[in-house]
Structure 1
C-alpha cells in the first residue's frame, strides 16, 4: 500500500517557513514555495500579502524579499506572526524560572508570551520590565510583584525607553534576564531599534543568567544595531535548532540551546 501523502502545512506553518526561508536567502519565489508546501501559487501569494501587510517581508515580482535592516513590524502586528511558535518558546522559558526569582523581562512579542506563561503557572516572584504588555500579563498572578520601569512611552512597541529606563534597571540585580531580538547571527544579537538595544544591554549587565527568546525565523538575520555578542548570553530558547554556523558559534561561547517542545495535539 503506497504511503499516505503528508498533509499540507497550515497557514501559520507556511508563514513561519517563508520567514525561515528568507533567513537563509534574501529572496524567495512563489512557485518554489508552492511546490515545497504542496499548495497552489495563489495560496502562497496570499501568505506573502499577509506577511507584507504585517511588515515582515517585502513583496517582489513573483515572490518576497527581506525587509530593510532598520524596519520591523510594530508590536501589535508582530503579535500575529508565528503565534504558536512564540507561545511554545514562552512556556519553555517559564519552565526555567524558580519561584521567588527576580526577573528582568524585555519588551517584545515573544517575551509577552513568557509573561503569560508565568502568570498561568501562578509564578510568585519579582518582575522588572519596560513592557506594558508584560506588566499587564503579570497582573493575572497575584504572587508577582511588578516593577514597571520609568521612561518615555513608545506606543509602537507598547514599552518605555530612554535614560531613565536604563538608570532604573541599573539599581537592581536579577536572577534571570529574558530578552527578545530582531535577529541572531554568529556575530550576536541585533535589533532594529537603538532605544531597545540600550535597554537590552542594561538588562544583560544586571542578571546572573541571560536568556534570549527568539523564533527560528530570525536566525541569520542581521538588523541595524548589534546589541551584544553571543558571549553575553547564558541560554537561548527557540522553537527549532539553529543552522550549523550559528549553532557552532553558540557552542563556542557555551550558550545552552533549549528547544521548546512541540505543541500537544
Structure 2
C-alpha cells in the first residue's frame, strides 16, 4: 500500500491499525510500506504520541493500552525535559511554612527534587518513596510518609490505610500527577493510585495537576476526577484550543513553562 505524504490522516490510521496487530512497529518498515520518508513517519508518530494514541519508542512506536502503562522506572525516562520544566515551574508555588501533599508519580518525584533543592521550611505529606527520598538531604523539610501497602512497580504505598491517613490533615497545596488529561478530567491506569489522588484532592482548596504535554488528550482506564475538581494544571506548554477551552470553562488555570519561564 502506498500513500502520498499529504494523506496524513490515512497514514496515521494505518499506523494505529498496525499497532492493534503488533505490540511495536519500526519506523523504517512503516516508511517502506507507506511509500514515504522515515522523517514523515516520525512526524506522524510524534503527533499520535501527543494525542495519546501511541507511545514513541527508539526507532518506532508502541501501542497504548487503556489498562497498561510502564512501571515507575520506565515512565521516569519519558519526556524528561518536559517534566523537568513542569517541576521547576511548580516548585515556585510553594512558600515557607506551607503544608503540601504530593502523590507518588514519576512527575511528582521530579517536582519533589526541584522543591527539595530550594530547601524551604515546609511540611510534605506523601505516599511516594521517591518523593520522600528527595527531601532526605533537606535540613528544613518535615516529611510525613503515609502507611499502606507498598507497591514496588509504582514506588509508593496505597490502600485504605493510606487514604485514611491523608484525611487526618489539611494542606495548603496538593500536587498530583496523571497518565493523561482529557476534556473529562485527568486519567490514570491504577485504581489504587486514583483513590489516593482523590483523597489528597479533598484536603486542600489549591489542587494542582502536574502534567507534561505528551499526555494531553490521552485516555486511560479511570478518570481521577472531573476538571472542576482542579484549581490549576502546570505543564511544559499550553494545551490545544479545545482542551484549553474546557479547562477555562471549568475554572482551571493553566500555567505553562514555555510561557512563564521561557523554556522550550
TM-score (norm 1): 0.78
Shift of 1:240: 1.3
1:16-62 deviation per Cα after TM superposition (whole angstroms, max 9, x unaligned): xxxxxx9xx9579947x98xxxx956x95xx99xx9xxxx7388xx9
Residue of 120, 126, 131 corresponding to 1:123: 120
2:3 paired residue number: none
1:67 paired residue number: 64
1:172 paired residue number: 169
Q: Distance in 2 between matches of 1:229 and 1:66?
A: 26
Shift of 1:140: 2.1
Listed as ranges, the matches of 1:243-254 within 5 Å are 243-254=240-251
Number of residue pairs matched? Answer: 227
Unaligned runs of 5+ in 2: 1-11, 20-25, 32-36
Unaligned runs of 5+ in 1: 1-21
Residue 211 (structure 1) aligned with residue 170 (structure 2) = no
1:145 paired residue number: 142
Q: Distance in 1 between matches of 2:16 and 2:256?
A: 25
Please tell me the root mean square deviation across aligned C-alpha atoms, in Å.
3.0
1:182-225 deviation per Cα after TM superposition (whole angstroms, max 9, x unaligned): 11000001110000000000000011200000000001111001
Q: Distance in 2 between matches of 1:243 and 1:63?
A: 25
From the superposition, tell whether residues 58 and 213 of structure 1 become closer, same or farther in structure 2 (CA, over 3 Å): closer
On the 8 A contact 1:88/1:262 being kept in 2, the answer is: no
Residue 237 (structure 1) aligned with residue 243 (structure 2) = no
On the 8 A contact 1:212/1:236 being kept in 2, the answer is: yes
From the superposition, tell whether residues 93 and 58 of structure 1 become closer, same or farther in structure 2 (CA, over 3 Å): closer
Listed as ranges, the matches of 1:1-265 within 5 Å are 30=27, 57=55, 64=61, 66-260=63-257, 261-263=261-263
